[in-house]
Structure 1
Amino acid sequence: MSSASCYTFGQYVLKASQVFIRSRLSIAFVNRKPVVPGHVLVSPIRVVHRFRDMTIEEVSDLFLVSQLVSMEIQTHHLCPSFTLSMQDGKEAGQTVHHVHVHILPRKAGDFQNNDDIYTEIEKHNDSLHLDNPGDQWRSDEEMAEEASILRKLFDKKYTQNIE
């Protein structure tokens, strides 16, 4: 992990305590309002608004870290499948002005209709714009606690491979 105390995530500030893995070009972090248990995000460290504006190295690193995170989350959350999602641009539903991949662990029967997850992701994105998120968002402490648990999965196993 970096010694940075925070990261810029589009129009938001992300505390380093919420980050559980950092490669040379990407970070993985817990979600303020997860759609399903284990819902995390992977993003380039550099603020990049659109996928098309990423460098080849950033694209490669983003997807390698996403794959690595998925493998560990699958074991940790005992989930057989994932929904991976990226909204690229306002018309596609992007609400945070920073490229990011949603990694959502999936289990049989987690939604009545399998594609309902996309409706839930849309609701999740809409809630980011509320003036008073109240109890809809997790606290910084809850997020730091989850990140600490996840960080332990990666610290010894992958640190040398991704830095």
Structure 2
Amino acid sequence: MAVPERVAWAVERVAPRPGMRVLEIGFGRGVAVDLLCRAGAVVTGVDRSARMVEVASRRNAEHVAAGVADLRLGTLADVTGSFDAVLAVNVNAFWTAPRDLAPVTAALAPGGVLHLCYEPPTAAQVETIADRIRPALAGFTVQTATRGDRLLCITAR
């Protein structure tokens, strides 16, 4: 299976390195989990879909067996630990209900970085998404990056 451009770019934005602790929220089929682990990161993933946990666990069986990927059914409330990076790709709840960012930012270790990446259906939605998320990140240094006219990544430090 080819890696979707949005996932490859999101992982590139994280810039994974050996030993980096990454939390992926809403990991779906586990494509980013695989890329992150191959780069040496240690990944904890949480997803609300039992089917996606099953699919991603199968895709990442080697990483799970090696202890570098822990894929869980649940929500952010179920996550413990402190992470160097938090990644979410196309998790709409963060821009439709930005108040949900508090548990995400709480999972960051000191110096940790949050990456919220999107590929909205239309180019016109890129700025709308960014505008809705920025206020929820008060107190963080926020950078917005785009690729082409449809990929968006909001990074908070």
Point out which structure has higher relative CO (alpha carbons under 8 A, 6+ apart). Answer: 1
Q: Decide: shared fold, TM above 0.5.
A: no
> With structure 2 as the length reference, what TM-score do the two structures score?
0.30
Higher share of residues assigned strand: 2
